Amino acid sequence: MKSIGFLGVGHYVPETIVKNDDFVARGLDTSDEWIVSRTGIRERRVAAENEATSDLAVKAAEAALKNAGVSPSEIDLIVLATSTPDHLAFPSTAAIVQHRLGVPMVPAFDVSAACSGFNYALTVAHQFCLSGAAKKVLVIAADCLSKIVNWDDRSTCILFGDGAGAVVLGEVAPGFGLLSSDLHANGAEATSLIIPDGGTRQPITPEIIAARTNKIAMNGKAVFKLAVSVVGPSIELALKSAGLTIDDLDLLIPHQANYRIVEAARERLGIRENQVFMNLDKYGNTSAASIPIALSEAVSTGVLKPGMILALTGFGAGFTWGTNIVKWGVGK
């Protein structure tokens, strides 16, 4: 069987930085110490008024293509994970990105799995490559959560940021690349992290806009408990599927949501702090984009080296979660 892995990686974050103290300056009842101690976040990036999800996605994709040495004309498929598409229903953000990148008229579609979106998109793209339906796939995760957050809700607005990450998938040396995937969803917990109104269940009205129920709403305690309960087992299941154990794991790149969630998972798994890559303090929770942004930074800083066994694990609204196990090695 062919080995499918990463030919290149890239990311992009907006220029505007919002620090914790900026919330205090706006009159929000919080502090830098309060936010850092409960989340690990010190600042986040926020898209400009004229920046949409596709703008971030295009820049991350261009960086990944350049890193891979692959031209847009070589891409056979685009899979884009996002919860914040440019347009509410259609067209897909992937189609917009396909046109702007100059990629031929190949299939391009969005995947919606919230903060687990990159895990889902990566797994789908991997199957296309394994089947022979595609040779090189552009996988992008991009979100502009600043556009859908209630900036007066202390429980949510401090958490989220904007950004995009991308990878180019293709055939790599035997034994390298994506080794296994573990994906799950539990719709019974759908209301734990949700945008209550504005969809087909409750179409937008002036009253909804006034009440801001078309913005992110979260039961923080429920999300924390759910995440802590699923992250460790998912990593263990994915390792087992790859014929590996936790002792084989060199580096964990988790969804960058909350430092305490990651710490709980790390302690459960019995791995060292230096085996976990974190950039949460700089970017906050960028939803589906958080894992590929962190992956790109782990590569560019030299933390991730060829031959390492890597776990990419995500969790988020749906409730969804998943893990991909990778033996790192770019290209053949």
Active-site residue list: 115, 255, 285
Handedness of CA 243, 247, 248, 250 (dihedral sign): positive
Rounded to 10 degrees, the C-alpha dihedral 239/283/279/141 comes to 30
Q: Is 171 left (phi over 0), alpha (psi -120 to 50) or beta?
A: beta
The pairing of beta strand 193-194 with beta strand 309-316? unpaired
Between CA 13 and CA 44 the distance in angstroms is: 9
Rounded to 10 degrees, the C-alpha dihedral 32/36/42/46 comes to -90
Between CA 289 and CA 310 the distance in angstroms is: 17
Between CA 287 and CA 267 the distance in angstroms is: 23
**Under 8 Å between Cβ of 111 and 83:** no
The amino acid sitting at 157 is C
Q: 24 burial class (0-12, 13-18, 19+ CB within 10 angstroms)?
A: middle
For residue 199, what are the β-bridge partners? none
Half-sphere exposure of residue 284: CA atoms within 13 angstroms, side-chain side: 25
